[in-house]
């Protein structure tokens, strides 16, 4: 196959490209330039978009003996990922920019360009597995599964890609036993990035100050901090800087009457109000999702299906019952309460290691779904084949 390998400049993408070469594919490397202002991403930045990253990607391509190009996707990145990030916070929600980057950039803009140029697939350094399992009428069914290394699994942020793009994606590191093993492999291959630190935080917030970034882009919008009964406790400079479950940085000059910590319970953009209260009010048992992307047809629109759901990139899967709702909705009943879930977060549905679908949380709470739900599910999403493709 003709494979376009996305080279970020890190160790994972370099080893993934090397494995694609070893597999006999005709591989071309490409680095995505995502920042409009390259100067803001210098050595020591916390993201993955620095000029040094582009140089590291080029050196990796040289070692592998593959052609190398830089594609300027900064306009698409600004208009989709960054714009969505700002709009979601302004609307009182908590987005995950890595999910949106995978959706709009790595498996939309990049993959669409690759297809137009005649490539058969895109390979990335994500930790996830693609499994070819038996499907109906003897056809092969392509599935997305968790990586072999649970600590590095990135299926949560890949679930949004959809079945058509999954069919053209390769994740050569899916069966890697650990990040240490990947680093050792990189060193053995002579790749200079073998000891390069991982990128972290939000790549376009180079200094890690998300609140400062939001203030610079959205401006100051003073408002009130209130308790659950509506009593004014203090003021804020912008409700967009708060997220559900937040404890620090509330700016209140007096403690709660019972001395217990206060947490953000809700952000109300319509009134520019931040609601705070005791931690026990953060527990939710039900979720409603929107913009659902399904990778499997296992979940019913009528019966509740037993499954696992994950609500944070590095969170633990939680037992739940799920069902489709309307054209693009998802409803979730959790077996046990979870705390601090905010609108805008991603919820990913699993059957064992297999990803069934993903949605953006629209509402989280208690009582409004369970009233009409059965005590147990009437259908079950069972784990399927787990052999690596």
pLDDT 10s digit of each residue in the chain, 389 long?
A: 999 999 999 999 999 999 999 999 999 999 998 876 554 444 444 455 667 889 999 999 999 999 999 999 989 999 999 999 999 999 999 999 989 998 999 888 899 999 999 999 999 999 999 999 887 777 888 999 999 999 999 999 999 999 999 999 999 999 999 999 999 999 999 999 999 988 766 888 877 788 899 999 999 999 999 999 999 999 999 999 999 999 998 988 888 888 899 999 999 999 999 999 999 999 999 999 999 999 998 899 999 999 999 999 989 999 999 999 998 999 999 999 999 899 999 999 999 999 999 999 999 988 877 655 554 444 444 433 333 33
Q: CATH 3.40.50.620 in the chain, residues?
A: 2-195
pLDDT at 199 (0 to 100) = 74
Residues near 153 by Cβ (< 8 Å), separated by ≥ 6?
127, 128, 146, 147
Environment class of 372 (CB within 10 Å of its CB; exposed 0-12, middle 13-18, buried 19+): exposed
Environment class of 227 (CB within 10 Å of its CB; exposed 0-12, middle 13-18, buried 19+): middle
* CA–CA dist 27, 133 (Å, integer): 26
282-380 domain in CATH 1.10.760.10?
no
Strand order in the sheet with 2-6: 68-72, 26-33, 2-6, 121-123, 169-170
**Which residue out of 48, 49, 98, 203 is catalytically annotated?**
203
Environment class of 327 (CB within 10 Å of its CB; exposed 0-12, middle 13-18, buried 19+): exposed
pLDDT at 200 (0 to 100) = 65
Provide Rg for the chain, Cα atoms.
22
Q: CATH 2.40.30.10 in the chain, residues?
A: 282-380
Q: Tell me the CATH class for 2-195.
A: alpha beta
Q: In the block, which residue shows the tokens 């005709």?
A: 26
Q: Cβ distance 330 to 347 under 8 Å?
A: yes
Pick the CATH number of 220-277 from 2.30.30.280, 3.40.50.720, 1.10.490.10, 2.60.40.2480: 2.30.30.280
CB-side neighbour CA atoms (13 Å) of 262: 23
**Active-site residue 203, yes or no?**
yes
pLDDT at 386 (0 to 100) = 34
pLDDT at 43 (0 to 100) = 46
DSSP-assigned beta bridge partners for residue 122: 4, 169
Q: CATH 2.30.30.280 in the chain, residues?
A: 220-277
């Amino acid at each position: 196959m003709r494979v376009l390998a996305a080279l970020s400049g890190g160790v994972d993408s370099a080893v993934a490209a090397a494995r694609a070469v070893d597999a006999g594919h005709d591989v071309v490397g490409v680095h995505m330039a995502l920042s409009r202002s390259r100067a803001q991403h210098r050595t020591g930045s916390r993201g993955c978009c620095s000029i040094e990253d582009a140089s590291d990607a080029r050196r990796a391509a040289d070692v592998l003996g593959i052609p190398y190009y830089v594609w300027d996707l900064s306009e698409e990145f600004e208009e989709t990922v960054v714009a969505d990030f700002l709009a979601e916070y302004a609307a009182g929600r908590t987005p995950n920019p890595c999910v949106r980057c995978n959706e709009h950039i790595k498996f939309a803009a990049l993959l669409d360009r690759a297809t137009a140029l005649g490539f058969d697939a895109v390979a990335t350094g994500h930790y996830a597995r693609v499994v070819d399992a038996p499907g109906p009428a003897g056809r092969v069914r392509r599935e997305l599964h968790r990586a072999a290394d649970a600590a590095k699994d990135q299926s949560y942020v890949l679930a949004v890609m959809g079945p058509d793009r999954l069919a053209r994606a390769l994740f050569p590191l899916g069966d890697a036993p650990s990040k240490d093993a990947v680093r050792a492999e990189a060193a053995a291959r002579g790749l200079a990035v073998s000891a390069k630190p991982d990128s972290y935080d939000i790549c376009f917030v180079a200094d890690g100050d998300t609140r400062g970034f939001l203030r610079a882009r959205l401006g100051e919008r003073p408002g009130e901090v209130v308790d659950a009964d509506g009593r004014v406790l203090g003021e804020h400079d912008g409700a967009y800087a708060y997220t559900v479950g937040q404890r620090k940085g509330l700016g209140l000059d007096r403690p709660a009457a019972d001395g217990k910590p206060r947490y953000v319970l809700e952000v109300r953009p319509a009134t520019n109000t931040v609601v705070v209260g005791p931690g026990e009010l953060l527990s939710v048992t039900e979720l409603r999702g929107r913009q659902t992307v399904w990778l499997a047809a296992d979940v019913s629109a009528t019966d509740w299906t037993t499954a696992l759901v994950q609500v944070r990139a590095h969170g633990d899967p939680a037992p739940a019952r799920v069902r489709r709702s309307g054209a693009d909705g998802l409803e979730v009943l959790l077996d046990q309460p979870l705390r601090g879930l905010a609108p805008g977060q991603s919820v990913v549905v699993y059957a064992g290691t297999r990803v069934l679908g993903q949605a953006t949380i629209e509402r989280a709470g208690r009582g409004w779904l369970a009233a009409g739900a059965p005590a147990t599910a009437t259908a079950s999403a069972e784990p399927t084949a787990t052999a690596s493709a």
